[in-house]
Amino acid sequence: MTSRKLNNRKARRAASRGRKRTILASLTSAAVALLGPVTSSHAGGPVEKFGVAYAFSDYREDNIKKSKFSGLGERSRYKIDTHQFSLEGPVLDRADIGFDFIYESMSGATPWFVQPENTLDSTSKPVQAMSGATVTEKRYDGSVSGNYYFDSARAGAHVGVSKEKDYLAVFAGINGEYHLNEKNTTVTGGFAFSIDEIKPTEGGTDGRIVKDDKQSINLNAGVSQILNRETVAQLSLTYKHSRGFLSDPYKKAFVLQLGGITISDSRPDERNQVSVLAQLRRHFESTSASVHANYRFHADDWDITSHTFELRWVQNLYDDLIQLTPHFRYYSQSQADFYEPFYITERSDGLASSDYRLAPYGSFVFGASLGFRLERWPFWFDWRIAANYERHIADADFALVNVKVKNPGLVNYHFTYVTLEAKF
């Protein structure tokens, strides 16, 4: 089918769901790092009090610019609202347990494929075809976790399930830590796995799969060292192996041959990823503040390498009752070896993707968080209220690598995260 014969009815059926599963995971992890976890165990022993918490996050992408829009689909992009409920508490003297439930509602249009503005001229600028605006979709995620504490160690485990209309994931993992050198040194490690099943809407039509699956395992190890009373350094290594259906069944790639055709997004059925994270924490007693500096390097066998630099200033005020944290993050990545905005002819290996997440680009994040503590009031509970806001801006010009052709689907977004926690 040529691109000229594509219509908005077909675009409405092509709403991409693959990307949404990773958006909130990474964003919420970053917000939790800034605000503190919704519920958190003590490093040296189980939690001493029962705790309940509620968190709400609002993720909103900017509309795609008219100059980057092909005219196919809708310019409005994804909106995701997330509600998270958590409960934790001590079990006997050396253990604690936690429960988490997440509900997400998602709607909007997402990038479908990229084509040249003039479909007969490969040198014309690329423009983005979008899916149509979708009806609201929902995701439910539930998990349970537990920890057992020894005199100089901790062992933990978790298990959970995530369910959408077209997606089911079952996941579990174990983790632990061991304290050495009078607890000045901590060694950590963990293993996790996930088994996912994909059943795309309208499977079997337009070249779309009917059903498929993928599996992933994650290994991590790290060490934390207290250098002095004010300084802590951490180094960690993460390895992830994924296999199975790693393509996006709702995306297409554009090929210029025969006047322009679209083919299914097709990626290798295996991926190995390695990340190294270095962290430094420095506390300044005189100002009741600390600086957090992070650097992460990532590489995989799809030929993507990335660099992330992050800086936070954590300022405590009024005897630590208020905490203000401005933060900044820079990210840059290279492209996957099979990625192209669009293709002149089909690749001999059958691989193809114009997904902007596989494109070369850079991004900046500017944000701030603000937290308050209320002790023994109201209801004799210890309360914590916190909020985080981030603005994300992405552009190929921000990348550390040279970018020959910019992907028009790069996303800018606003992200807000609010938590309310009570301990009793």
pLDDT tens-place string over residues 129-165: 998 866 678 999 999 999 999 999 999 999 999 999 9
Confidence of residue 346 (pLDDT cuts 50, 70, 90): very high
Sign of dihedral through CA atoms 261, 264, 265, 267?
negative
What share of the chain in percent tops pLDDT 70? 88
Note if the bond before 37 is cis, omega within 30 degrees: no
Task: Specify the pLDDT at position 121.
Answer: 86
The pLDDT tens digits for 289-320 are 999 999 999 999 999 999 999 999 999 999 88
pLDDT at 195 over 70: yes
pLDDT, the chain, mean: 90
Is the separation of the CB atoms in 244 and 213 below 8 Å?
yes
The pLDDT tens digits for 37-59 are 444 444 578 899 999 999 999 99
Token code pair at residue 93: 């003297």
pLDDT at 95 over 90: yes
pLDDT at 104 over 90: yes
The pLDDT tens digits for 370-415 are 999 998 878 888 999 999 999 999 999 999 999 999 999 999 999 9
Token code pair at residue 56: 């709400």
Any idea where the domains of the chain sit in the sequence? Answer: 3-423
Task: Specify the pLDDT at position 43.
Answer: 55
Tally the residues of the chain: 424
User: Is 350 buried (19+), middle (13-18) or exposed (0-12) by CB count in 10 A?
Assistant: exposed
SS3 state at 10: helix
Q: What are the CA-CA distances from residue 389 to residues 21, 312, 352, 392 (Å)?
A: 20, 13, 36, 10
Instruction: Flag the least confident range among 24-28, 120-124, 186-190, 418-422.
Output: 24-28
Domain spanning 3-423 has what CATH number?
2.40.160.40
pLDDT at 192 over 70: yes
Q: What are the CA-CA distances from residue 288 to residues 34, 324, 369, 373 (Å)?
A: 17, 11, 17, 16
What share of the chain in percent tops pLDDT 90? 79
pTM over 0.95: no
**pLDDT higher for 276 or 258?**
276
Task: Specify the pLDDT at position 344.
Answer: 94
Residue for token pair 């199975």: 244
Confidence of residue 204 (pLDDT cuts 50, 70, 90): low
